[in-house]
Amino acid sequence: MSQENILKIENLVMHFGGIKALNDVTFDIKRGSVSALIGPNGAGKTTVFNCITGFYKATGGNIMLSANGKETSVIKVLGEAFRLTDFFSPIAFFQRLKYKMFGGSHLVNRAGLSRTFQNIRLFKEMSVVENLLVAQHMRVNRNLLGGILNTKAYKQAESDALERAFYWLGVVDLVDFANRLAGELSYGQQRRLEIARAMCTNPEIVCLDEPAAGLNPSETEALTKMIRVLRDEHNTTVLLIEHDMGMVMDISDYIVVLDHGEVIAEGGPDDIKTNPKVIAAYLGAEEGEEMTL
Ligand SMILES: Nc1ncnc2c1ncn2[C@@H]1O[C@H](COP(=O)(O)OP(=O)(O)O)[C@@H](O)[C@H]1O
Ligand SMILES: [Mg+2]
């Protein structure tokens, strides 16, 4: 895999019982790009995200992530089903047990990828800054003994985490809300907090699932600027799912179009806008989903 691509998705297949949500999806994401995954409702966009981020284990295919100085096979990192022989190998047994208990998202996160959710998933009963600390704790393996003894390394890690949390609160303009409960924030603020939460784990690539959904035009404009800052000032690759075509065409270096679980087109915004297959897919979509070009 070349250094040029941060993510390589090959022949990805995802079945839910009889439903074939993804059927042989192949595309690459260039390092340092803002790329968009678009397509009508039900096309399979969120499912692609769920497979990439380790939320689901794909039925078939390959997902290679090139980040943190190494190549990670996302599907492999998620581990395999229990086998009888695991009971004789304590390491394999505990690895698989851990995966069963915690899922695989934190492992993919450690490999350099983070995400936000289409339906906001914050700890609403925790404060804004606590949400950012929890995200970092889930990623870094803290030594329990270090915590009890309150070692120097442990204190340093805690103060680094707090510093990083406030840094990202500054970027998303939420410093004044640090001690408010996440559930008390406005919808737009919660969306920004999710981005801060994804960023404070230092990802090389961040996947945003419909970040502009429910935002007003000025919030969308601010979001667009923020995404450019992630790319240009933090060297972060951004992959987003978005329905706001104005925003997608404005911000994306590259666009992949999904329909019925297959890639029907990919290219730059100008190619995609005029692609007959893309126009047909959107015209065939439900009311309110047409692509306004
Ligand atoms: N957990 C699941 N169980 C069963 N079917 C699912 C699940 N997640 C998604 N699907 C199905 O996969 C298809 C693609 O869904 P999704 O990826 O959410 O589409 P999009 O994000 O493009 O709107 C849909 O038919 C949806 O019903
Ligand atoms: Mg979706």
pTM score of the predicted model: 0.86
Report the pocket of ligand 1 as residue ranges, CB < 6 Å: 16, 19, 21, 39, 41-47
Q: Does the pLDDT at position 291 exceed 60?
A: no
CATH 3.40.50.300 domain range(s) in the chain: 1-77+204-293
Place 106 in a pLDDT band, splitting at 50, 70 and 90: confident
**Per residue in 16-62, pLDDT tens?**
988 999 999 999 999 999 999 999 999 999 999 999 988 888 999 99
- pLDDT on residue 283: 74
**Ligand 1, atom 5: nearest CA belongs to which residue?**
16
Question: How far is the C-alpha of 285 from the C-alpha of 293, rounded, in Å?
Answer: 15
Residues with CB under 5 A from ligand 2 (ion): 46, 118
State the fold for domain 1-77+204-293.
Answer: Rossmann fold (3.40.50)
Look at phi and psi of residue 19 and say left if phi exceeds 0, alpha if psi is from -120 to 50, else beta. Answer: beta
Question: How far is the C-alpha of 285 from the C-alpha of 43, rounded, in Å?
Answer: 10
Structure tokens at 60: 């078939």
Distance 37 CA to ligand 1 centre (A): 15
Question: How far is the C-alpha of 243 from the C-alpha of 8, rounded, in Å?
Answer: 23
Q: H or E element: which one contains 36?
A: strand 34-38
Is 6 or 136 the better-scoring residue by pLDDT?
A: 6
Distance 45 CA to ligand 2 centre (A): 5
| Residue tagged 């078939």 (tokens) | 60
- Mean pLDDT value across the chain: 87
Distance 160 CA to ligand 2 centre (A): 34
Distance 52 CA to ligand 2 centre (A): 14
Q: Does the pLDDT at position 292 exceed 70?
A: no
